[in-house]
Amino acid sequence: MTVRLESFSQRMQIAIDAFTKELSGLRAGRASINLLDPIKVDAYGSLMPISQVGTVTAPEPRLLVVQVWDKEMVKAVEKAIRESSLGVSPSSDGQLVRVALPDLNEERRQELAKLVSKYAEEAKIHVRNVRREGNDTIKKAEKDKEISEDDERRLTEEMQKITDDHIKKIDTLAATKQKDIMHV
């Protein structure tokens, strides 16, 4: 058995991809259709993402519109948006649900910046857990005499370098998003 660091690097990249997706749901200056991604609608007896009950568009910088496919689901979509942590009040017009987004005040900007930090820390924890698994695999391979002590030391150093690179990417993404949020 040879230890393949690429698979651990790919798993770390998955954490970064998930972090990037979470960041896209956080609102900075203009409305993003990803803002509604985390919201689940009680539809047909189960919780479904809004994207599975309608089409989300951003026709204006401060407006999101959900074109609900099933007329019976309009009230459920409205309720899900209203009860979400976004702090917005949707209005419906036939099968359209309009979500007007207010300007961000300083307090809300700071809350969002803290949320970015929280998401970043969760992503870093995931990356570090993958590193720990990788190091355990390397140590086991050395203990089982599948690799030499020199290889174990070299692979452990490479694993740390890969981890540092991924943590740096997370920090860069977080700093960029926080700057974007705090920019008035």
Q: Would the pLDDT of 182 be above 70?
A: yes
> According to the model, what pLDDT value does residue 1 have?
45
pLDDT digits (tens, 9 = 90+) for 34-44: 777 778 888 88
Shared domain for 84 and 145, answered yes or no, is no
Across 5-19, 109-123, 129-143, 166-180, least confident range: 109-123
Shared domain for 17 and 60, answered yes or no, is no
Which CATH number goes with the domain that contains 150?
1.10.132.20
Domains identified in the chain, total number: 2
- Residue finishing a domain among 74, 100, 126: 100
Rounding to the nearest 10 degrees, give the CA dihedral for residues 165, 169, 174, 180: 150
Say what the pTM is.
0.67
- Residue finishing a domain among 83, 100, 117: 100
Shared domain for 111 and 170, answered yes or no, is yes
> According to the model, what pLDDT value does residue 34 have?
74
Q: Structural domain of residue 85, as residue ranges? A: 30-100
When comparing pLDDT for 90 and 38, which is higher?
Answer: 90
